Structure 1
C-alpha cells in the first residue's frame, strides 16, 4: 500500500527548488521550454468563445384547411381522401399481382410446379393463421407443423 510520504507536496516543492537553485547553464531555457505548452493551453482556453444557445424558433402553424369548415365539408373531404386511398391500394394490389404472375411464368419456364407451390404456401398460411388465432384465444394449436419464423419446421409425414 502506498503511504502519504510518497505524495508529500511540500517535500516535492523543496526538492524542485533545491535543484533549480543550483547554477546550471540551461536552467532558464529549460524552464521556459517546459512552461510554453502550459501557457499555450491557457491562452487557447481563455480565448475560447462560448455562445449561449439561440432563442427557440417562433412556431407558426400552417393549415391546409379553411378554419370555418362545416361538418359536411369535412365528411366530403374525408370521403374523397378514402376514395383516393382505395384507388392507391387497388393499384398496389394490381402491381403485386402482376409481379406474382411474372414469377409464375418464370417458374413455369424453369420447369417448376408453380401451382403445387402456391397450394403449399396457401396451406401453410392457413395453418399459421389458425395457430395464431388459437394462441390468441387460448385454444390448443391445430395439428401439423407451424413455422413461426424462429426455426425451420419439417413435416413429420415426410
Structure 2
C-alpha cells in the first residue's frame, strides 16, 4: 500500500489535467460538455428526491387525566377523539410505509430483481406480526376482564 501512495501526487495530477486541457483535440469541448451534462443530470435526479433515511419522529398523544367531576359523556367524548387521532396517525404511518415499499419495488424492478417474492414475504411477516399482537391483546383482555365480560371494580 505504501508503494501506491508513493506514486500519487496532487500536484502531478493537477499538472496532468492542465496538460490534457492545453493539448488541442478535435472533440475536447464536446466531451467536456457531455460529461458535465451527465454529471449534472445525476445530481439533478438525487436533488429532486425528497425523503430522508431517518423515520419521522413519533407524535405522542397524551390522554387527559380523569379529573374529578368529569361526566361519563365527557370521558367517552375524550376517548373517541383520542381513538380518531390514533387511527389517523396509524393511517399516516401505513401510507408512509407504502410509499417506502413502492420505492423499494421500483428500485428492485429497475435492477431486475424478483420483487413479487419479496412483497409476498413482507406481507406474510406483517400478517404474522399483526396476528401475534392480536393474540397478546386478547390474552391481556381475558386477564383483565371478569368471566362475565365486565371490567373489575377499581375501588375508587
Report the TM-score, using the length of structure 2 for normalisation: 0.36
Structure with the higher fraction of residues in helix conformation: 2
TM-score of the aligned structures, taking structure 1 as reference length: 0.35
